[in-house]
Amino acid sequence: MARGLGHDRALVVVRGRHCEAGDAAHALASAARTKVLFDVSDAASPEVAAQRVAASGPDVDGFTTNVGGYAPERVAIATSRAISRAFAAIAGKRDYTAVIDSSRNGKPVSGAGNPAGARIGSYEVLSDDGAPQQLWLTVPGISDGPCGTAPSSRAGDFVPDLAAALARR
């Protein structure tokens, strides 16, 4: 993958155990314009997330949260900032990149499986002020599985009706 990226800019999100993130980051270190982020969306707390990021090794450039999630923007930002504070306390570093998946957090909803009323969130909110970045990391319309508003879908399927429902304002 590193050879294929060459010197192109890339953002690589690694899901899995911290050692996998560290191994991926180390392998991609030769691609000078690649940032490797470790997904901690499923961490039980900001402290656990920060510990996972710290354990992933020195080549990891940051972390992602809310991947495939529905946390409203204000909650996702607060969580990301809490992880950054906890990580700074553990590792003493404050220059990690924090990215929030904002593809499905445009409106507070109940439930986590294709919930009714979900909307797309902000697209590419990038800043240089240290605030968490917001990007669509999950393609709007990807199903969580046979639940909610897409009961006959499988997890990972693209469902046009889900995409259309997310896009409604």
pLDDT digits (tens, 9 = 90+) for 79-92: 999 999 999 999 88
Identify the residue with better confidence: 44 or 96.
44
pLDDT band of residue 95 (cuts 50, 70, 90) is: confident
In CATH, 2-167 is 2.40.40.20: no
pLDDT at 154: 96
Q: What share of the chain is helix, strand, coil (3-state, %, to 5)?
A: 30, 15, 55
d(CA 17, CA 139): 23
Tokens found for residue 115: 């919930």
Domain boundaries, the chain: 2-167
